[in-house]
Structure 1
Amino acid sequence: MHGPFNRGPRQKPMGEINVVPFIDVMLVLLVIFMITAPMLTQGVDVDLPQVTSEPIQDMEDTEPVVVSVDSQGQYFISLGDGETPLSLDEISDKVIIILERKPSTPVLVRGDRNVPYGQIVELMSTLQIAGVPNVGLISEPPPSDG
């Protein structure tokens, strides 16, 4: 009988999931992350000294404050507010505010290898006067020969 409710032979339900749209979305996300990953590195262009040293192990879970000195002797602080040069007094004020909020925040110095030693010492002295108990120095490992 062929009535209005008879639709012909019933099809068996499909037991597989179509994963093609999922793969398409994942490939698009992969391309987006591959393009944006190199742009995530930010900061001041500093030619760090190359020395062999052990990495700091007790950094806990806190993000360190990094104070940079570029090759022209200008000071910068990594707070996510761009790369505008600051004076030593402005850096001291910002570090004091950060340490009041979270006293265990580590403070590190990135000094260009061409900056006079006295300027780095002056920065470290200013940071210690601001209340930083220990100032760390950032360097690069020397290039490997092999």
Structure 2
Amino acid sequence: MARRQRRAKADINVVPYIDVMLVLLVIFMVAAPMMQPGVVNLPTVAKADRALDVKPLKVLVERDEGMKLEDGGSKTVLSSTEDLVAAVKSKTIAQARPVLISGDKEVRYDAIIKVMNALKKSGVERVGLEVKTTE
């Protein structure tokens, strides 16, 4: 009588893995409705700068990364961020004024951040980004 050699079974039994996955799915389906969604209280914009009758300074960053400082109706062309910081400091000595940075859509994001960083480092407290609203 000839003996048959046993071969090792190389198949992976996936049934226990499927059972575990189904149990985890049921647990998450039961637990998900019980979780509280995070509530974020956003500040309202309607009150910002409305009480102050202060016109903000506007920094315009153009496509070629040139800068202009607009104060009311007058525009000053600036060649570097150091000139910008000096001009903003001279205009905000008497009264703290917010500074808005406007950038062309084609300008690199890095140029806007460099201007914002230079203003923040120089001690300008209120620096923001100006955007066009859709109506």
* Shorter-chain TM band: 0.5 to 0.7
Q: 1:57 is matched with which residue?
A: 47
What corresponds to 2:79 in structure 1? Answer: 86
Q: Which residue of 2 aligns with 1:29?
A: none
Going by fraction, where is strand more abundant, 1 or 2? 2
TM-score by length of 1: 0.54
Distance 2:118 2:131 in 1: 20
Counterpart CA distance in 2 for 1:68 and 1:56 is 24
Structure 1 unpaired stretches of 5+ = 1-53
Partner Cα separation in structure 1 for residue 46 and residue 66 of structure 2: 26
Q: Secondary structure at the match of 1:78?
A: strand
For residues 24-70 of structure 1, the C-alpha deviation after alignment (integer angstroms, 9 at most, x for no partner) is xxxxxxxxxxxxxxxxxxxxxxxxxxxxxx75632210010000101
Superposed CA RMSD in Å reads 2.0
Matched, 1:132 2:135: no
TM-score (structure 2 length as normaliser): 0.58
Taking the aligned partners of 1:98 and 1:135, their CA distance within structure 2 comes to 14
Of the three residues 97, 105, 126, the one matched with 2:90 is 97
Match of 1:120 among 107, 112, 116: 112
Q: 1:126 to 1:56 in 2, by over 3 A?
A: farther
Which secondary structure state, in structure 2, belongs to the residue aligned with residue 101 of structure 1? coil
SS of residue paired to 1:58:
coil
Between the two proteins, the alignment pairs up a number of residues equal to 89
Computing the radius of gyration over CA atoms, which structure comes out larger, 1 or 2? Answer: 2
- Determine whether 1:74 maps to 2:30: no
Contact 1:69–1:76 under 8 Å retained in 2: yes
Provide the C-alpha distance between the structure 2 equivalents of 1:56 and 1:84, rounded to a whole number of angstroms. 32
For structure 2, the 5+ residue unaligned runs are 1-43
Rounded to whole Å, the distance in 1 between the matches of 2:81 and 2:57 is 15
What code does the residue aligned with 2:86 have? D
Q: Between the two proteins, what is the percent identity of the paired residues? A: 25
CA-CA distance at 1:133 after TM superposition: 1.2
Task: Give 1:138 shift.
Answer: 0.7
